[in-house]
């Protein structure tokens, strides 16, 4: 990469255009930051030392590339960060689903099309607009687009770009938009003017810490992924520890509790992006209905969805736990028994546990 040789006035005008283009493409806000993430790097280092990343080895294997953008993409001097709302307007009210033990709760971000695909396309379009407008501003413009696809400290970058502040639950928060949004980045070798960060506004509130079902937020700004339901149902490829199974309730893919109780989300907006609309009634589907999907049905119904990444076995594992937590039903008991010895030992372990839970309830 070669650094830019343009003047501050032209760069300021371009920065304004980039933000306007971003909004026209469907992003709700665009910010620009430098690449100094020294404070975030210290936080990450301590988090890894505490082994809070669990089996997510990729969080450590890239070394400082995650916290030093110019090591990941040489000569990067600015990062353009975008924010995009995702909460589907048509989705069933979350608490009504969580309070119905026979329904499946899927994290609201995963109800529609995979955000990686949606945002990457739009970010590439934004990057192309920038490139087409900088032929006379620099000798060689280079950039790289990211959507949760490489070692990038996206929340720290978004915070520096003024898109919000990192809350005590470790998610990015905005006074205007809460936290129901995705982030994406463009690493670039153009010295655009940077935006100011914003102050934190969590104050003395500990709602997210107090309401986490598994107490995964072990301290303000410290999440132990090994206890987090999102990790346990998505990233975790092995057995779910018995101590967390009942605490999972009916959450079969991810968990939103820390966002649901956050006061700032009263200012959140529903998404205008049609790709994030609910598919296959996953916002409030019956647990048993989902459990009875065969693998072909699972693959068909999760095509283009982030859910597909966990695969059919883990899908059944997660729902088995939720069915174990559901009220006793002869139909549930029969379905659980019928699935034994059809997948693998890891899944069978959860099926047996769920059957035991159902058997205990049958005598109540």
71 falls within a domain: yes
Could you read off the pLDDT of 223-261 as tens digits, one per residue?
A: 999 999 999 999 999 999 999 999 999 999 999 999 999
Residue 100 covered by a domain? no
| Same domain assignment for residues 18 and 158 | yes
Cβ neighbours of residue 281 closer than 8 Å, sequence gap 6 or more: none
d(CA 44, CA 19): 29
Please check whether residue 138 lies inside any domain of the structure: yes
Contacts of 196 (CB under 8 A, 6+ apart): 162
In a domain, 101, yes or no: no
Report the CATH number at residue 158.
3.40.109
**For residue 134, what pLDDT is reported?**
80
Q: Check whether residue 223 and residue 329 sit in a common domain.
A: yes
Q: Which two tokens stand for residue 355?
A: 């059957």
> Sorting pLDDT into bands at 50, 70 and 90, what band is 136?
low
- Per DSSP, the residues of 274-305 read GGGS--TTTTS-BHHHHHT--HHHHHHHTTTS
Predicted confidence (pLDDT) per residue in 167-209, tens digit: 999 999 999 999 999 999 999 999 999 999 999 999 999 999 9
Report the pLDDT value the prediction gives residue 133, as an integer from 0 to 100: 87
- pLDDT attached to residue 335: 98
Enumerate the β-bridge partners of residue 174.
178
Of 188, 215, 242, the residue at which a domain comes to its end is 188
Asked if the structure places residue 3 within a domain, the reply is no
Give every CB contact of residue 62 below 8 A, 6+ residues apart in sequence.
72, 151
Query: Beta-carbon neighbour count of residue 99 at 10 Å?
Result: 12
Residues 223 and 324 in one domain: yes
The answer to whether residues 346 and 229 belong to one domain is yes
Mean confidence (pLDDT) of the chain: 95
170 within a domain of the structure (yes/no): yes
pLDDT tens profile 316-333: 999 999 999 999 999 999
Residues in CB range of 78: below 8 A, 6 or more apart: 32, 33, 34, 35, 187, 188, 189, 190, 191, 192, 194
In a domain, 116, yes or no: yes
- Count of structural domains within the chain: 2
pLDDT of residue 9: 82
Give the mean pLDDT of 26-41: 97
The verdict on residue 199 lying in a domain is: no
- Same domain? 151 vs 16: yes
Same domain, 327 and 254: yes
Q: Residue 143 pairs with which residues in a beta bridge?
A: 188
Q: What is the pLDDT of residue 31?
A: 98
User: Domain containing 76: what range?
Assistant: 8-91+108-188
Cα 118 from Cα 184, distance rounded (Å) = 11
pLDDT tens readout for residues 80-124: 999 999 999 999 999 999 999 999 999 999 999 999 999 999 999
Same domain membership, residue 113 and residue 73: yes
Tell which of 131, 156, 188 closes a domain: 188
Which 3-state string (H, E, C) describes 83-108?
EEECCCCCCCCHHHHHCCCCECEECH
Examine the fold and report which residue of 153, 188, 223 is the final residue of a domain before the chain moves on: 188
What's the mean pLDDT in 122-133?
A: 95
When pLDDT is cut at 50, 70 and 90, the band that residue 135 belongs to is low
Q: How far apart are CA 146 and CA 148, in angstroms?
A: 6
Residues 350 and 212 both lie in one domain: yes
Residue 307: per-residue pLDDT: 98
For residue 44, which of 153, 189, 145, 182 has the smallest C-alpha distance? 153
Average pLDDT of 15-20? 98
Q: Examine the domain organization and report whether 291 and 177 are in the same domain.
A: no
**pLDDT at res. 187:** 98
pLDDT for 3 beyond 80: no
Q: What is the pLDDT of residue 364?
A: 60
Same domain for 226 and 175, yes or no, is no
pLDDT at 1 over 60: no
Give 83's strand partners.
29, 183
Tell me what the mean pLDDT of segment 64-76 comes to.
Answer: 96
Domain match, 263 and 228 both? yes
Which residues belong to the active site? 148
Quote the pLDDT of residue 7. 76
48 membership: H or E segment, kind and range: helix 38-49
314 shares its domain with 262: yes
Between 59-63, 95-99, 293-297, 342-346, the lowest mean confidence (pLDDT) is in: 59-63
Q: How confident is the model at residue 202, as a pLDDT? A: 97
């Amino acid at each position: 990469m070669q650094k830019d040789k343009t003047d501050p006035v032209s760069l300021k005008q371009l920065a304004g255009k980039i933000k306007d283009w971003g909004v026209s493409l469907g992003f709700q806000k665009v910010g620009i930051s430098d690449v100094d993430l020294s404070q975030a790097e210290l936080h990450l280092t301590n988090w890894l030392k505490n082994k809070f990343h669990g089996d997510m080895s990729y969080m450590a294997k890239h070394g400082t590339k995650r916290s030093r953008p110019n090591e990941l993409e040489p000569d990067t001097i600015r990062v353009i960060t975008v924010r995009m709302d995702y909460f589907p307007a048509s989705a069933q009210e979350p608490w009504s689903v969580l309070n119905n033990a026979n329904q499946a709760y899927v994290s609201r971000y995963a109800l529609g099309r995979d955000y990686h695909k949606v945002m990457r396309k739009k970010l590439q379009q934004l990057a192309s607009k920038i490139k087409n407008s900088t032929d006379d501003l620099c000798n060689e413009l280079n950039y790289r687009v990211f959507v949760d696809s490489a070692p990038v400290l996206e929340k720290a970058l978004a915070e520096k770009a003024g898109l919000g502040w990192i809350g005590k639950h470790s998610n990015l928060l905005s006074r205007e938009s809460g936290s129901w949004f995705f982030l994406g980045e463009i690493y670039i070798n153009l010295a655009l003017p940077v935006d100011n960060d914003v102050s934190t506004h969590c104050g003395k509130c500990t709602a997210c810490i107090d309401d986490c079902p598994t107490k995964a937020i072990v301290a303000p700004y410290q999440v132990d992924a090994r206890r987090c339901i999102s990790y346990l149902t998505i990233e975790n490829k092995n057995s779910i520890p018995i101590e967390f199974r009942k605490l999972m309730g009916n959450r079969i893919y991810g968990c939103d509790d820390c966002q649901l109780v956050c006061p700032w989300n009263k200012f959140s907006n529903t998404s205008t992006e049609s790709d994030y609309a609910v598919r296959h009634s996953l916002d409030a589907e019956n647990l048993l209905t989902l459990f009875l999907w065969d693998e072909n049905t699972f693959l068909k119904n999760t095509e283009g969805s982030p859910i597909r990444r966990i695969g059919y076995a883990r899908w059944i594992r997660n729902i088995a736990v939720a069915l174990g937590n559901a009220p006793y039903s002869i139909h549930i008991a029969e379905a659980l028994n019928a699935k034994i010895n059809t997948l693998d030992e890891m899944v069978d372990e959860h099926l047996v546990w769920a059957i035991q839970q159902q058997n205990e309830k049958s005598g109540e």
